[in-house]
Structure 1
């Protein structure tokens, strides 16, 4: 398969997300709610600027879609957008907590498991079909979780919560696939900000102290711009010409890079049983995606030739 700039964009997006734990760990001394509060707020400001300056056409098109929709479709759009915003905010909060207070391995395992959990939810909730080999891959993933749970229920439980929150978010967005993803994300971040503003205290966030802390602001701005909005743009650019299946295979670079960082950069260790469990989840990922590769390569070639 010939690699193109679209493949490069997808690779760059998931490599960037894979290195996310490094700047996040620089904020380990701050409450997770404080990091979440400013990440959401700064990402919203940046995304709003992009939408207003460079994506006005998408904003108008989404408005026209909404006005042309039936009353039931409008309710569905508003409800799933609000639900998606809540799930994404919860996922960000859980991931920040897991990486800074549990382990980078736990966060990496969550996103290695997430695509398979998404497939399982798609089958259970949306009625999407699963091939027998995909069912076997899901079973192998569950076996891996069971093996890890025998050693540390808390760590595995947190990984599953991170994975499940993002998998549920992805399922809600599949229903809204006709709408511009960046516009929907902007609406979700706006809703998340409106919810977080009155919850700053219970979350442990102190906005006044955050605005006065230059180091905290700079790192959080890096998280928002370089590790949230930029890779999202790259991913959307890649999805414009590559099939979702091909991008789905490339997304495993994210947790694999994070796993490498956990052992090489952060000095974390794992027992032989944990390593075996991690190996099983990698095998399940390969098994889940293997039968589609030839068809996806053909699909990509047709898209790129168009």
Structure 2
């Protein structure tokens, strides 16, 4: 059998993470609006798009997912409902904290969160899923903890929001791992539906006393955030996962936070401290150390750096 040409899949994977890497642009364009209000309209618009896609273009997948759920046992149904609800809640928290970080703290903190996230996911995989870690991975975890201590010693608020963003996304990946047999687009649609049901009644609270008008500028950027920076890279990522290994996607995932860092300093003119630089260097070293001998890892993926093949990561 002729080997599959993986170049289109690599191109799709790279494109997905490059797109996610530029997400600060639409978020910064909406900095005048409350974070909760941005979240509300992002969830609503992304949900509408995914519902249309699921009902019109992926109806068979939607029906097969619910058919599989109907034939599942009571325990499997409880697992599906529980982790879908939890996934929706975690996704809501993750998106809200990331929006707040980018617009009210700095891009560096958001980038740090997603460099830290795979390491945290590895620890959670070890604790919750009993996945094994190698010695170099434990050393990487130790360096990551040290980098967190450095960030916390200089600016506790940044550390708290970094950890909240990283832990919410890491726990979200764990829920996706547990629900690995279900279609990810269907799951995301249900999770966003639950997210909207959760935040919908509190729109007035999310809006607060903001008097900024919801004009064309607002809705254009919300549309970009939902279509270009949520749905499009998700489908590109799903396409890439058809042929690429978990290890390959795991390396590509770091494109996103690295681009965030570059933009923070070169475009948005953010400043940093010596302590933060040391913390960032440590987290970069820990990422490299963690991924040493990546090709030699088992197919199942020890440490759960990323979701295994057949699942997908939903970026902020």
Pair in the same fold by TM > 0.5: yes
CA contact (8 A) 1:43 1:224 kept: yes
List aligned pairs for 1:188-267, cutoff 5 A. 188-204=191-207, 212-267=214-269
Relative to structure 1, is the Cα distance of residues 71 and 50 closer, same or farther in structure 2, using a 3 angstrom cutoff?
same
1:1-306 matches, within 5 Å, as 4-204=7-207, 212-293=214-295
* Deviation beyond 6 Å, 4+ runs, structure 1: 205-210
CA separation of 1:227/1:29 partners in 2, compared to 1, >3 Å: closer, same or farther? same
- C-alpha distance in structure 2 between counterparts of 1:207 and 1:280, whole Å: 40
Judge conservation of contact 1:245–1:296 (CA < 8 Å) in 2: no
Q: CA deviation at 1:209?
A: 7.9
Question: Which structure dedicates a bigger proportion of its chain to helix?
Answer: 1
Deviation string 1:43-65 (CA, Å, 9 cap, x unpaired) is 00001111112111211220121
User: What is the CA distance between 1:270 and its match in structure 2?
Assistant: 1.5
1:23, CA displacement in angstroms?
1.2
2: CA distance, partners of 1:225 / 1:207: 25
Q: Deviations over 1:66-93 (max 9, x none)?
A: 0111011101101100100000011000
Deviation, 1:272, is 2.3
Q: Find the residue that maps to 1:196 and give its secondary structure.
A: helix
Deviation, 1:259, is: 0.4
**Counterparts of 2:38 and 2:287, CA distance in 1:** 31
Q: CA deviation at 1:293?
A: 2.8
Aligned residues: 297
Q: Quick check: 2:16–2:236 contact (8 Å CA) kept in 1?
A: yes
Q: 1:41 to 1:273 in 2, by over 3 A?
A: same
Over aligned residue pairs, what C-alpha RMSD do you find? 2.1
Q: Normalised by the size of structure 1, how large is the TM-score?
A: 0.92
Shift of 1:237: 0.9
Distance 1:51 1:122 in 2: 31
Deviation at 1:95, TM superposition (A): 0.4
Instruction: Report deviation, 1:165.
Output: 0.7
CA deviation map 1:246-295 (0-9, x unaligned): 11111011000000000001001112221121111111111111211356
Instruction: Pick closer, same or farther for the CA change 1:140–1:217 going to 2, 3 Å.
Output: same
- How far does residue 245 in structure 1 lie from its aligned partner after superposition? 2.2
Q: Which runs of 5+ in 2 are unaligned?
A: 302-308, 310-316
Taking structure 1 as reference, are residues 205 and 179 closer, same or farther at Cα in structure 2, changes over 3 Å only? farther
Question: Conserved in 2, the CA contact under 8 Å of 1:243 and 1:296?
Answer: no
SS in 2 for 1:235: helix
